[in-house]
Amino acid sequence: MASDHTNSFRVALCVSGGIAAYKAAEVLRGLQQAGCTVRVCMTARATEFVTSLTFRALSGAHVITNDYAPDNPDPIAHITFSQSVDLLLVAPATANIIAKFANGIADDFLTSTYLAANAPVAVAPAMNTTMWEHKATRRNIEQLRADGVYIIEPDAGEMACGTTGAGRLAEPARIVATAMEILHNKRQATSTPLLCEQNLSGERILITAGGTREAIDPVRFISNRSSGRMGFALAEAAIARGALVTIIAGTTTASLPTNASIRTVHVTTAAEMHAAVMREIEHATIFVAAAAVADYRPTETVREKIKKTGATLTLMLEPTADILAEVAHKRRHRGLLVIGFAAESHDLVAHAQEKLTGKKLDLIVANDITQDGAGFDSDTNIVTLINSITHTPHALPLLSKREVAERILDEITLLRLTTSTQSASAVDPSNAAPHASDLSQPAQTKETFATKQQHTHTSQT
């Protein structure tokens, strides 16, 4: 039974017996801080690693370890427990539990609950590397995938047994983010809005929009076909959700948003956009770089109009500052979420992943500019969203730019819930936020670049 949109999500957190069982407490806290109501069940082995009292204290509810126990308040708990939740999350999931799930064995409360579940199921495996890589486990994992179970891949690293390799329980923040993504997608699929209308109140969002113009001479410039529509749609959607919005608008052809509360700063060049962003960024809690900023500008602007001579003309270009990367690397203050776009013509996901990690972003919105209905100067877009927590590409269909903006803001809201979960979670102090301030990055090196131009009026991208 799914909760309605005014209620929080209900999650059954199932803990099986492994050394990582203690991390389930952090998962529980993370889910609660993301607004979920969590009930816990444990296998008998799990209670040897962590007591059920820990989870009872954290969840505020009876923890089921044995449904035959006299203190169990519900005589058919495996049915009510599994059919009154929006998600069954098993973390950690041992090799034994995975094998039982894969084969339909129901010999205790957790395994019976799995068979009786009519909600989505996600498992976060944790085990020794050799067990994880064993052919039997590989087979069982593939069987679970085929059965529609979400697998939250384990991390690689040093294991409790002293070996190094894959099999360590995924970081609790990643487990929580994946669980929220599953819940979110499930709710979207049933067309029930997840997020309340004012879910960005208190946020100050700074958005770059449009293109830039880099002058070659008094009449010619380098620019691109960006209309500003995507940035403006984001601004309108964000203000409707209660955020304070500032746009740094380059050259645009779309109509500016009409909402008088949206502040707009007009700029022309990449350097002006850079200066405006650096001035405004300290007041922002979210930065979205939707502008198509020129990557190169002429090394000099010729004061007089260049005359036609009939010969070829070489323009010397130099790189502009990457505004987005600079904000993410050097100007990120605590809690600032940084979102970038990636306009690609090939290998969309690979290039977007590179930009996500290379520029240290929280979210990247990638679009294949070769597809009809996507990209520049269009009312619609086809984008893939990838966040820095799950790194899972989420491809959206052809949507209006306003609808794309709403989906981006949904994702931002989830990221905000997850990052505040991480900073509020004191269970493991070494669990730093995924992109905390990093002031140690070297400044970009400046290169020069020469290109032969037949025409002086060119367009970027």
> Which residues in 386-445 contact ligand CTP (CB under 6 A)?
none
Stretch that binds ligand CTP, among 47-55, 127-135, 334-342, 445-453 (CB under 6 A): 334-342
Q: Single out the residue of 341, 369, 419, 456 in contact with ligand CTP (rule: CB under 6 A).
A: 341
Q: Which of 14, 41, 161, 196 is catalytic?
A: 161
Whose Cβ is closer to ligand CTP: residue 178's or residue 268's?
Answer: 268
Whole-number Å distance between alpha carbons of 180 and 13: 13
SS3 410: helix
Q: Tell me: does residue 340 bind ligand CTP (CB under 6 A).
A: yes
Residue 93, CB-side half-sphere exposure with 13 Å CA sphere: 31
323 belongs to the binding site for ligand CTP (CB under 6 A): yes
Nearest of 300, 440, 296 to residue 360 by alpha carbon? 440
SS3 260: coil
| CA atoms within 13 A of residue 207's CA, in its CB half-sphere | 29
CB of 342 to ligand CTP, least distance (A): 4
Only segment of 246-254, 259-267, 321-329, 375-383 that touches ligand CTP (CB under 6 A): 321-329
Q: Which of 324, 338, 383, 415 binds ligand CTP (CB under 6 A)?
A: 324
The label of the residue with tokens 């500003």 reads 228
| For ligand CTP, the closer CB: 244 or 294 | 294
- Identify the residue whose tokens are 């007009």: 266
CB of 237 to ligand CTP, least distance (A): 17
DSSP 319-361: EPP-HHHHHHHHSPPTT-EEEEEEEESS-HHHHHHHHHHHTT-
Tell me how many residues contact ligand CTP (CB under 6 A): 15
Question: Residue 337, interface with ligand CTP (CB under 6 A)?
Answer: no
Candidate residues 320, 381, 390, 425; the one interacting with ligand CTP per rule CB under 6 A: 320
Q: How far is the CB of 42 from ligand CTP (least distance, A)?
A: 45
The DSSP element (H or E) to which 317 belongs, if any, is strand 313-319
Q: Are the beta carbons of 394 and 386 closer than 8 angstroms?
A: yes
Nearest to 208 by CA among 269, 165, 143: 269
> How does DSSP classify residue 424?
H
Report the nearest approach of ligand CTP to the CB of residue 277 (Å).
Answer: 8
Nearer to ligand CTP, 52 or 320 (CB): 320
The residue among 24 and 290 lying less far from ligand CTP, judged by its C-beta, is 290
Q: Which is nearer to ligand CTP, 286 or 293 (CB)?
A: 293
The candidate with the shortest Cα–Cα distance to 236, out of 256, 216, 222, is: 256
Nearer to ligand CTP, 343 or 409 (CB): 343
Beta carbon of residue 327, minimum distance to ligand CTP (angstroms, whole number): 8
Helices (H), strands (E): how many in the chain?
14, 23
Instruction: Tell me the C-alpha distance between 367 and 349, whole Å.
Output: 9
Phi-psi region of 101 (alpha: psi -120 to 50; beta: other; left: phi over 0): alpha
Q: Which is nearer to ligand CTP, 91 or 289 (CB)?
A: 289
81 or 341: CB nearest ligand CTP: 341
Measured between alpha carbons, how far is residue 276 from residues 323, 424, 447 in Å?
10, 32, 24
CB of 337 to ligand CTP, least distance (A): 14
Nearest to 408 by CA among 383, 389, 388, 391: 383
Positions in 207-266 near ligand CTP (CB under 6 A)? 208
Residue 57: count of CB within 10 angstroms of its CB: 11
Whether 161 is catalytic is yes
Distances (CA, A) of 366 to 208, 354, 384, 426: 16, 11, 5, 34
Give the residue with the Cβ less far from ligand CTP, 89 or 363. 363
| 356 binds ligand CTP, rule: CB under 6 A | no
Q: Are 46 and 17 in contact (CB under 8 A)?
A: yes
**Sole window of 124-132, 190-198, 341-349, 374-382 interacting with ligand CTP (rule: CB under 6 A):** 341-349
Taking the complex as a whole, the smallest distance from the CB of residue 445 to ligand CTP amounts, in Å, to 14
| CB 234, CB 290: distance < 8 Å | yes
Least Å distance, CB 285 to ligand CTP, is: 18
- Beta bridge pairs of residue 248: 208, 265
Window 262 to 301, contacts with ligand CTP (CB under 6 A):
270, 289, 291, 293, 295
Minimum gap (Å) between residue 331 Cβ and ligand CTP:
12
Catalytic positions are 161
List residues near ligand CTP by CB under 6 A.
208, 270, 289, 291, 293, 295, 320, 322-324, 340-343, 355
